[in-house]
Structure 1
Amino acid sequence: MPTGRVKWYNAEKGFGFVSRDDGGSDVFLHRDALPDGVTELKAGQKLEYGIVDTRRGVQAMSVTLVEAPQRVKKAEPPVQRRSPEELHGLIEDMIKVLEDQVMPPLRRGRHPDRKQTAKIAEVVHAVASELEQ
C-alpha cells in the first residue's frame, strides 16, 4: 500500500490532500476514506492508503493512520531580549535565506526541499518569538 503525509485537511469541508512518499502527484483525500471515528487529520501525519483513479485524478481510499502528527515544539523564550540592531540583522539574514533558497523553487512552480525548509522554518519561528517579546 502506498504511504504519504497529510499535506492539509479541512475537517469542516471533509477533504484534503496527501503528499505521496514516492514523489507522485498529490492524492485527494475525502472524509469517507478515513477510518471509523477519525474526523480530523493534522498536516504531516503519516498515512497508508489505497489509490483509485477517478475522472478528476487520483483519490485515496481505505486510509490507515500510521503515526500521530508531529508536534511543533514551542520555542523557549530567550533569557534576554535582543537589541534592535541584532534583530534587524537577523531579519535581514532570514529574508536573504528565503529569497535564495525558498523563492526560486516556488517561482518554478515547485515546493522547496522539505529537509531544507524544516531548518528554515525553525529560524523563522525563532525570529517570530523574538518579535513577540
Structure 2
Amino acid sequence: MPTGKVRFFDADKGFGFIAEDSGADVFLHANALPEGVTTLKKGARVEFGIVEGRKGAQALSVKLLDPVASVAANMSARERRTPEELVVIIEDVVQLLDGVGEGYRAGRRPDRKLAANVARALRGLADELEK
C-alpha cells in the first residue's frame, strides 16, 4: 500500500489531499478516514489504497501511521521536539493567528473559547522555543 503525508485536510468541507511519497497528490475524502477519525492534521503520515476517480487518484481505506502532535500536548520539561515537528506546529499557529487577524480586520473579536485556545497554543509554542 502507498504511503504519504497529509498536505491539508478541511474537516468542514470533508476533503483534502495527501502528498504521496512518490510525489503525486492524491484526493482524500472524509469517507476514507478510519472509523472515529473526523480530521487529519497537516504532516500526518498515512497509508492508503488508491482508486482512479473521475478527476484522478483518490485515497481509500486511510490508516494513520504517524499522527502529528498537538501544541497543547503534555510533554515532559526535558523533552524537545524535532525541527520537523516544530515546523508543523509553527505552521498551525500561523494559520490560527491568520484566522484571528481576519476577524479583527472585519471588526470582530474572537470568542472566549477561541481566544483561550490561541493563548494556550502561543504559550505552548513559546515553551517549546525556550527549551
TM-score tier by shorter-chain length is 0.5 to 0.7
Amino acid at match of 2:55: R
C-alpha displacement of 1:62: 0.5
Partner of 2:13: 13
Aligned counterparts, 1:98-113, within 5 A: none
How high is the TM-score relative to the length of structure 2? 0.53
Q: Distance in 2 between the 1:39 and 1:54 partners?
A: 22
Q: Which consecutive segments of 4 or more residues in structure 1 shift more than 4 A?
A: none
SS of structure 2 residue aligned to 1:39: coil
In the TM superposition, 1:24-35 aligns within 5 A as 25-35=24-34
Give the total of aligned pairs: 78
Helix, strand or coil for the counterpart of 1:64? strand
Distance (Å, rounded) in 2 between the aligned partners of 1:71 and 1:19:
21
SS in 2 for 1:66: strand
- Structure 2 CA distance for aligned equivalents of residues 12 and 69 of structure 1: 19
Give structure 1 stretches of 5+ with no counterpart. Answer: 73-114
What CA distance in whole angstroms lies between the structure 2 residues aligned with 1:69 and 1:53?
A: 28
Calculate the aligned-residue CA RMSD, in Å. 2.4
Q: For residue 55 of structure 1, report the CA deviation from its aligned partner.
A: 1.8
1:94 matched to which residue of 2? none
Q: Distance in 2 between matches of 1:54 and 1:26?
A: 13
Q: TM-score by structure 1 length?
A: 0.52
Matched with 2:4 is: 4
